[in-house]
Amino acid sequence: MSKMPKNFNRLALLLILIAAVGLRLVAISTRPIWYDEAFAVLFAEKGMQAMLAGTLTQVGGSAADVHPLAYYGLLNAWMSLFSQSLTAIRMLSVLLGVCTILVIYIFSRELAGERMALASALLMALSPFQIHYAQEIRMYALLVLLLAMATLALWLGLRKGGWYWWGLFSISGALAQYTHNLAVFYILPLALTPIFHKNWRAVRNVVISCLVAVALYMPWLLQLPSQFEKVRQSYWTTSPGFARLATTLISFTTNLPLPAAWLPVGLFIALFLVVLAAWQTIKAYRHKLPQAATGIWLSYLVFAPIFLLFVFSQWQPVYIERGLIASGAMFLVWLAWVMTETKKPHLVQGLFVLLLIIGFALGYYQHIYYDGFPYGRYAEMARYLRSSITPQDVVLHSNKLTMFPAHYYDRTLPQEYIQDIPGSGSDTLALPTQKALGLFARSDSEDGVRGAKNVWFVIFKKELDEYRALGYATHPHLEWLEKNYQLDRLEDWGEITIYVFSR
């Protein structure tokens, strides 16, 4: 009798993992990359020495870039083994994402048993938010894996003891910080868990483990002040209002962006799930049920990092939903606990599951088919430009956002890009980073053109609209071109417009 459930559970987990891989492989080679992904590839391929120089070199009292290098180093090794094709590169994130599902499965099984473990794994497999970052060529798939491992290690250390679990907690926490500086906003509440559970004996173990993690992280911790100064001087995000808390919950359930018509649906689903989960947690606590502590702790791991990052961002804006991806994973585990470990009327349970399915379906569809800003038809555009330009032409990008993806698809095109407005929130690509990449920004349109016979000027429509909204008759980069060249035609490439100029 015990053998059948075990075999069934293994088969169920295998099917969940197969489904997870399948969902993450859809459109893996056809979804265009965007600036951040292209930067990751172009930067990682240069090797660790160049990346260190491009990140830590001082510029005006701050580091050149804000991200630590664990993911970029891993990506460099991966590309050296499996090539730089879009499919090969994205498979690294797919692999990391599937490993995260396994860690969440083990963690949930230790918390409440097999039913909850399978439910958690299934929600992780189907979540559009998790799928998105398990495809993207960025550090977030690695970040959530390491923080999930730290969570599992801490829980096992509390329950079973053993120096190896506390060691894993230290190593996972340190590596998470080497992956993304925002990891601390999850690690800090996690480290306070013994106090949360009033497990005073474990406080000493957590303190020692945290000190070991800090020691492991110390080489980069010494660089953190200059990286923080870079964030303080120029970072694109703004102080979050309370609306960002709502968008965070929508991200966890359906992912963003959503079409305007779908936003009310996404908000309703997110709020319904949160309110019901909170109500079930409160009910379990009031009735003094044994599983109440689990639900309360999971909700704590969801909301404490959000609250900390939100409060910190009132002083220094760094609030980005993807930086809270580990809280997003704990949100799914919390929902799995509600589904499997609390009693609800069948109608409520059915509505709960139905809304989850609708939210996941909306988010997944949008993830696969969304092609708005900052995405573009870069591969097709690069092929077209290659077949159209002459040796006396230049492709001039209004900024790095279109230049880097286009450069990824064709390294030999004569392409230039204009620097960001110095000191602005978008001025994130410092000169040492440009040097490491070998891609130097031009000061203005005249500097970028350099006497070319024909100019193919590439710009996002969003950028044009923003300048028109500020009252400008034309974009500053276009103004010089229109005075010194003849505009032959405009070409529509979805979110991107190409202006073709000639002498």
Convert 435-444 to b/e letters by CB count within 10 Å (16 or more is b): ebbebebbee
Asked if the model's pLDDT at residue 448 lies above 90, the reply is yes
289: nearest Cα among 331, 254, 341, 328: 341
Q: Provide the pLDDT for residue 8.
A: 87
Q: Which burial class, exposed, middle or buried, applies to 257 when counting CB atoms under 10 A from its CB (0-12, 13-18, 19+)?
A: middle
pLDDT of residue 2: 40
The average pLDDT across 335-360 equals: 95
Please give the C-alpha separations between residue 72 and each of 33, 42, 77, 78, 370, in angstroms, as whole numbers. 16, 10, 9, 10, 26
pTM above 0.85, yes or no: yes
Residue bearing the bigger pLDDT, 82 or 199: 82
Residues of the chain above pLDDT 70, percent = 98
Question: Would you call 143 helix, strand, or coil by DSSP?
Answer: helix
Q: What is the CA radius of gyration of the chain?
A: 24
What integer is the mean pLDDT of 128-153?
Answer: 98
Please give the pLDDT value at position 425.
64
What pLDDT is recorded for position 322?
95
Q: What is the DSSP string of 250-317?
A: HHHHT-S---TTTHHHHHHHHHHHHHHHHHHHHHHHHTT-TTHHHHHHHHHHHHHHHHHHHHHHHHS-
Cα 449 to its chain centre, rounded Å, is 35
pLDDT digits (tens, 9 = 90+) for 401-440: 999 999 999 999 999 999 998 766 677 899 999 999 999 9
CB atoms within 10 A of CB 275: 10
Model pLDDT, residue 195: 85
Identity of the amino acid at 82? F
The amino acid sitting at 40 is A
Q: What is the pLDDT of residue 290?
A: 85
Q: For residue 16, what pLDDT is reported?
A: 97
The pLDDT > 90 percentage for the chain reads 85
| CA distance to 7, 36, 359, 457, 503, per residue, from 450 (Å) | 69, 28, 51, 13, 13
Asked whether the predicted pLDDT for residue 3 surpasses 70, the reply is no
How much is the pLDDT for 1?
36
Is the model's pLDDT at 468 over the cut of 80? yes
Mean pLDDT of 191-217: 90
